[in-house]
Structure 1
Amino acid sequence: MDLAPDRARLALDNVPLNVALLDETGTIRASNASWKRFGRANDIQTAPDAVGENYLEITRRADDRYADAAADGIEAVLSGERVTFSLEYPCHSPDERRWFLMHAGGVTADDTRYAIVAHQNITERREAEREARREHERLAHLVDRLSGLVRDVTDELLGASTREAVERILCRRLVETDAYDAAWVGRTTLGTDRLAVTAVAGDAFVDRTDEASVIELRDGHPLADVANGRTPLDVRARDAGGSNARWQTVTTSLLDSEATTEAVAEALPAGGLVAVAIGTDETCYGVLVAYAAEGTLPADPELAVLESIGATAGAVVDAIERRRWLVDDGVTELGVTIADPAFVFVRLADAIAGELTYLGATYRADGSLLAFVAADADESAMTDAIGPVESIASVTSLGGGDEARFQLRLTETDLVDALGDRGGTIRRLVATPDRATVTIDVAPGSPPRAVHDVLTARYDAVDVRHFHERTSPATRSTFVQTLTDQLTERQREAIQTAYLAGFYDEPRAATGDDLAESMDISRATFHQHRRAAERTLLGALFEDTHTDAPDRT
């Protein structure tokens, strides 16, 4: 067989494969430049182009299963038994691991059988496959470990009876997985931007009894977004290879109220740290922080599982807190200040440039909410003041003595509804142009934290002034509920409107005509509903037995 023309030779020499032409005996008749370069680079003791050497004999001398398989395959192609043959085989050098793909194809020319043999370096592909297998195995191990972690932690959390037990379980279970060197829990404090360390496992270098183990969560602190926004924190060491035992610098950095994520990353000797919120969608009860050793850094799936564990722990704490408040039948008084100009009563006080006192609110039969306020302003000034306030549809003057009283029809009831859903009732509210001072009664069985979270979710600059149990009105709440059940919607609206508008004050702040007009009913109808409600109230006070509640339809 004649060798290829010059242009064919040029093309063959530029193919990125090691190519040789073998005759029917296995002798190399021609090879390309890549074949020669490979032979020189690997110190193969043949002629530079190996032409004239018997490739099958050279291959058989290697005496390994890959060489035997290659020789058998090439012989099958030369004999016509096979059209093509392919084989992947290792060819490691002292400096690197290498893999090649050998492909042999048969051709016939001038009644002579030839084989074109090509070797392609597939090391990059094999290494990628090898890495993919390792990652698959790692993920399979991770799934098994995390499934066990979630199952074990969940089972143990559901058996916890105290908040302290929940926090201890979280820390202990994480450290027992061997993926984490240490873990601790920082508990949030109602009404403050503070975390107090309450549980520790492993060598976290933090003492939960130490007053220094309280973190002020200022803006920018790495744990602030975890506690306030439920955003998990994942910080990795800048340089690998440090000592996993030196977590003290990390803890010291986190306990600093001026800490930043960058500073914590610089303090990490190796590995990394993760932090997730312990809480529900509405309430954060704390933050779980874990230090991961080098080589066991959590991947995205693990971080998601830790978030899930934090949510489970939050739900358990929420249930524990609710049980605790159910046992105590006293009303909790929560006092706050709201210095947010978006708060409707602050906006209104600013508009009238004076003080405004909230007297109460009642729902009308049509579902709208009426709020009653007293203010040092006339009807004209109050009407002008509500103009820019979209959440107030109208204002009605109810007269009054030293302070005028007004009825406001509110278009937004979500705050009152949300407070009510969580057992909160506004007992007192005084607003000035820069802030509102609010006292909220939290019913038995309702955690004050949930009420506080309603406010902080809607307004900025909410600060707790006081927080204590005020009374133990279990019998009173039962009496009020019984009485309410005996009133029709109109009767309740009439007597509550009359009370809040000052109808029973001396001197009377509002007349029957004023109240009838505000309820959009006749004067006679108003007094009919009022008197019926008064009879029900007096009967509840003075009769030994009460009649069944009237039909409210």
Structure 2
Amino acid sequence: MSSFVVTDALRETLAVFDRQRPGTPLTTTEVATELDSGRRSTFEKLDRLADGGYVATKAVGARGRVWWLPVGSAALVDQLAEAAFLTLDPDGRVRYVSEPAVELLSLPAEPLLGSTVWECIPEFDAAELVPQIDEAMVDGTTTSAELRSARLGCWLQYRLAPTESGLGLSLRDVTERMVRERRLERYELIAEAVDDGIYLVDQTGHFTMVNDAYAAMTGYDRDELLGAHVSLVADEQTVETASEYDELLRAGDRETGRIEADLVRKDGGTVRAEATFAVLTDADGQVERVGVVRDVSDRLRRERTLKRQRRELAALDSLNTVARKVTNSVIEQSTRQDVERAVCEVLAGSESYSLAWVGDVDRASGTVTPHISAPTTAATESLVSDPLSTGPIRRATHTGTLQVTTSPASITPPDGWDAHTDTGAFRSAAVIPVVHEATLYGILCVYTEREAAFSAAERDVVDGLGEVVGQAIASIERKRALMSDEVVELEFRLSNLGSLLGIEMPADGRVEIGQTIPLGGDEFLVYATANDAGVEIVEAAESALDHWESVDLLEAGPDVHHLQVRLSEPPVSAKIAAFGGSIQQVVFADDMAQFVVHTDPGTGVRPVIEVIDETFNTTELIRRRQFTRSEATGPRSDDALQRLTDRQRSVLMAAHGGGYFDQPRRQSGAEIADTMDISTATFHEHLRAAMRKLTTSAFADV
């Protein structure tokens, strides 16, 4: 036993028993709690003390064990450990002082002998020591405490314990331990103050210390983690990687290590964490790994969000470039087919999309017929299908809004594409209504191989393509109709007008609809003339039809009244004009309405008929004829009107319809400007510009 060395760590463990009555058994867990240490490391210290004969032990139950300090052995422990010690009589007088004690106290031995310990050693206070001596003599209580010696400039630990002949007072210089403990306390305060998790792991991979942040991160209580193996919160691969770093750190090949892995929580969930660790050596020479763990879930989410945003910005920049190319391409085309081909080629030739096609919509038959596609290997002759019953094409044609699908097969023809088209690579597709001024010209479908395509920003871009293409087609159709000498005239009759308006139609009522003027958006002005009974029909229409916002009487004549109607959605004349047609005459009389429509033979009459049928479900086509316009000398008035801007044309038509050029005027310039929601100055500016262009055209050859 004399060769056994009692380290500071073992003395701290023995001190736990000093605070108990000699012979009191303690479990390993109780000693670990007193030491604020892990159960495994505490067991190892107790086992070493038992091997040295300083404590006794025995097994309890299948796996338990208790430890105790034998009665009368406290002073012996100090002597065997070669500690500084004194023996005292029951009154506290010094009977013996060891040489190590003389050296430690820096006092000669002779003055100490025979004196009370509080008289000869300044560090002791009788008020504290006398009660402790009484307890030791009466109850056999061992007292252990630390005190600061300003004289010696160190910390002393003393232990007062009963012996067979009196009392034993052992002394130790515990300055290093106290400094270390206070430093550790500061470290622990810091560890608890930070948000990061901090842990200590011994050489066997068991936790010896964790802070509250680490416990919260894992979902376990601190007591559940202390003494547990790291595999409780880490998978096999992570444990193996950490062990490899541990070997490098212990060998001095690295100063720190860092890994990123999932922490396994108590509830079975995981937390993505980054651990930075190093190795520390404790007072017993035991090497432990200290780790600082940070939850990086938010950081990774931010990084993923940033990467996604960068991808989206790059894609959006590319899409804006594509949109500009589409716009520039379509305005250069002279036919509808050229417009549709240009947009398909630009889209399919971009990095964003792989396939594009344009198709006609036939609501009567419930079919869509693709007729232009790019790349051209996707032959369109096999692309006739019936997609209007369900799916995104139906939703797009019925709502007039962009539809996106992650199942491109839902807008693939029944017979599929040809062998050159790799449809398996498509991830999503969009159906874009080709619309202008509420008129549907067809659909544009685009397919992409990109993941997570058609974000909100991308949808805004591609949705605008439908309006760009629709406006280009409408302009071409309108120009072709105006320039053509061949005209198809269609005459329609609407029966049961009174039932539609919910009134008893006056027998002699008559209304003639004149010019329709777009004001922008879905606002329109319509000018009409009516007899007395016809005014009742117009007023009834205002009450029955929600989009008839107001009816104003511009002039009341003896036989004919001039009216102005404000609408909040496109009238049938505006819808027909989108296909290059024009309404020549609309008359309400005899419980009927008759329409005379002129259109270009090249446009076809089907779109016009569809517009009429969709607007009025009791309409019948009563006459159709084709004729040639009479040749006129000089430039056509239609040619001159084409030179006007949309605003100039609207102002000129409003002035004409509102009777501005009549004598006397039915409406002043200020009144017409107010109706059009523009200033009087703006009205006169546009009117003068329109008149200047018309007169220049009229007198061009004079």
Could you tell me how far 1:162 is from its partner in structure 2? Answer: 1.8
SS in 2 for 1:252: coil
1:481-500 counterparts in 2 under 5 A?
489-490=661-662
Shift of 1:166: 1.8
In structure 1, stretches of 5+ residues that fail to align are 23-27, 72-87, 238-243, 256-266, 374-378, 400-405, 495-553
Cα drift, residue 135 of structure 1: 1.5
What letter matches 1:119 in structure 2?
Answer: V
Q: How does 1:398-437 map to 2 (within 5 A)?
A: 407=560, 410=563, 412-414=565-567, 424-429=582-587, 436-437=593-594
Q: For the residues of structure 2 that align with 1:407 and 1:380, how far apart are their CA atoms?
A: 10
**Number of paired residues?**
413
CA distance in 1 between partners of 2:414 and 2:584 (Å): 42
Cα drift, residue 118 of structure 1: 4.3
Q: 1:69 to 1:282 in 2, by over 3 A?
A: farther
Equivalent positions of 1:249-260 (< 5 A) are 250-252=412-414
Aligned with 1:318 (options 474, 478, 482)? 474
Q: Provide the identity percentage.
A: 16
Q: Give the C-alpha shift of residue 285 in structure 1.
A: 1.9
1:27-426 counterparts in 2 under 5 A? Answer: 30-32=208-210, 33=225, 36-38=228-230, 41=234, 59-61=249-251, 63=253, 68=254, 70=256, 89-90=259-260, 99-102=273-276, 117-120=290-293, 122=295, 124-125=297-298, 127-177=300-350, 179-188=352-361, 195-202=368-375, 207-208=380-381, 213=384, 217=388, 222-237=392-407, 247=409, 250-252=412-414, 271-293=427-449, 295=451, 297-329=453-485, 333-336=489-492, 346-347=500-501, 351-352=504-505, 358=511, 371-372=529-530, 390=543, 407=560, 410=563, 412-414=565-567, 424-426=582-584
Which protein, 1 or 2, shows the higher relative CO under an 8 Å CA cutoff with sep ≥ 6?
1
Contact 1:226 1:275 in 2 (8 A): yes
Report which of the two structures shows the higher radius of gyration computed on alpha carbons: 2
| Distance (whole Å) between structure 2 residues aligned to residue 222 and residue 492 of structure 1 | 56
Q: Distance in 2 between matches of 1:292 and 1:429?
A: 51
Preserved contact between residue 180 and residue 291 of structure 1 (Cα < 8 Å): yes
**Root mean square deviation of aligned Cα:** 6.3
Residues 283 and 453 in structure 1, CA contact (< 8 A), matched pair in contact too: no
The whole-number CA distance in structure 1 between the counterparts of 2:325 and 2:533 is 66
CA distance in 1, matches of 2:385, 2:634: 39
Aligned-residue offset at 1:276: 0.3
Gaps of 5+ in 2: 1-8, 14-31, 39-187, 211-224, 264-269, 418-422, 517-524, 544-549, 641-654, 667-702
Contact between 1:321 and 1:447, CA under 8 Å: does it hold in 2?
no
Judging changes above 3 Å, is the alpha-carbon distance between structure 1 residues 476 and 368 closer, same or farther for their aligned structure 2 residues? farther
Contact 2:489–2:598 at 8 Å: present in 1 too? yes
Tell me if 1:438 matches 2:595: yes
Q: 8 Å contact 2:315–2:352 — kept in the other structure?
A: no
- Does the aligned pair in 2 maintain the 1:419–1:454 contact within 8 Å? yes
Distance change (3 Å), C-alpha of 1:159 and 1:381: closer
Q: Distance in 2 between matches of 1:7 and 1:474?
A: 114
**CA displacement at 1:190 relative to structure 2:** 11
The residue number in structure 2 matching 1:19 is 199
**Contact persistence 2:573–2:583 (CA under 8 A):** no
Superposition deviation, residue 167 in structure 1: 1.5
Structure 2 Cα separation of the partners of residues 56 and 275 of structure 1: 58
1:104-157 Cα offsets, whole Å, 9 max, x none, are 9x9xxx9xxx99944325353454245334423422441343244224333333
Q: Distance in 2 between matches of 1:357 and 1:146?
A: 54
**What is the CA-CA distance between 1:229 and the residue it aligns to?**
3.6
Q: Which residue of 2 aligns with 1:76?
A: none
TM-score (structure 1 length as normaliser):
0.53
